[in-house]
Structure 1
């Protein structure tokens, strides 16, 4: 589903990632760890086509990024939902409107998705906050709204960048449960995190692979991939 072959990425005149080869299979669950500045966010952006590698090849759903133009990449990214670290929202729109934005951007009839939107807000526990504005939300509510927005188009892959970084442990576990449920529905999940407790909790719920960025390379269980 996502394949990186000998990928490198240079940033600010230096090499941030080097010789990264990685395959993310359909229906798999992955945690991405590493110290701050190691390149976790950069690797995620490479995985969903927001960045192009300095060297190597990236294939998304069987197609090489090098062979696609911006429109091709934009269409392909509709199959991928992204939960950004900073939970970007339009503050003048309420929660339901923010969650529905991908429908508008993709030219869908929002009215035809009204029932799906209601069910999704209920699934993430935000029905009672559907008309609240983003500044009125708690950290956990913002993360759950961001997750709902990421999956409104029913993507095959969900990528989350430090989704529990600014919320308490109870809310982190609730968000993890939602991600595990998505994985059980067949979605490929990739979560960047520094929270080892979250990873330990996940292993009791799902078969997850832990990837670690060290010395510009991605490692699995202490071995280079």
Structure 2
């Protein structure tokens, strides 16, 4: 799905990341860890072509990211769903309208039953008509996850989605991501929470990646 070959990313005369070799296979579940400022968000942005590598080769869906056409980029954005830690919504639209926004922007019809089923899956049926400022932090993150998967992407990338919620909500979000993985989706989740990784390892086969000293490393079994 996503393949890094000796990839580096740098700016201002130095590399933030270097020598990255990684293949994310279809249906895999990866955690990404590392200290603040180590480059986790930069790595994730390369995974959905928000940033281009400064060296090496990066293929997404068997296409070199530097050679993608405009249509190719648009197709990539439909096939990868992204959940940001600081999820942004349009405050004048309802939760349901915000979740359906990717479909609306793409000019696709919104099936009301499917939309409500998705909101029910993330536990937000009662908040469908609420405005984003009325949601709690955990509800916002679940709405962000629903919005990320409404186009039925093949890959879900989540950047610290549990960073601003309590432990119970973190486990609830993890359960949703594990369910997506069991449906065949590829999941890449950045987190600082080692307890969350331990819980996930009891539910699904996962691989833990760690950024350290500008390089991406496979973490050991003992976390």
Using structure 2 for the length normalisation, give the TM-score: 0.96
The whole-number CA distance in structure 2 between the counterparts of 1:15 and 1:60 is 22
Using structure 1 for the length normalisation, give the TM-score: 0.96
Unmatched runs of 5 consecutive residues or more in structure 2: none
Pick from 167, 178, 194 the counterpart of residue 169 of structure 1. Answer: 167
Aligned to 1:204: 202
The whole-number CA distance in structure 1 between the counterparts of 2:12 and 2:32 is 23
Unmatched runs of 5 consecutive residues or more in structure 1: none
- 1:91-141: per-residue Cα shift (whole Å, max 9, x none)? 11110000000001111012xx21111100000000000111111100100
Aligned to 1:9: 9
- 1:134-179: per-residue Cα shift (whole Å, max 9, x none)? 1110010000000000000100000000000000000000000000
RMSD over equivalenced CA pairs, Å: 0.9
The whole-number CA distance in structure 1 between the counterparts of 2:99 and 2:158 is 16
- 1:42-82: per-residue Cα shift (whole Å, max 9, x none)? 00000111110000111111111111134421222100000
Counterpart mapping for 1:3-152 below 5 A:
3-110=3-110, 113-152=111-150
The whole-number CA distance in structure 2 between the counterparts of 1:38 and 1:69 is 31
The whole-number CA distance in structure 2 between the counterparts of 1:85 and 1:171 is 14
User: Displacement of 1:11 after TM fit?
Assistant: 2.6
SS in 1 for 2:96: helix
Query: Stretches of 4+ moved more than 4 A in 1?
Result: none
Aligned length: 220
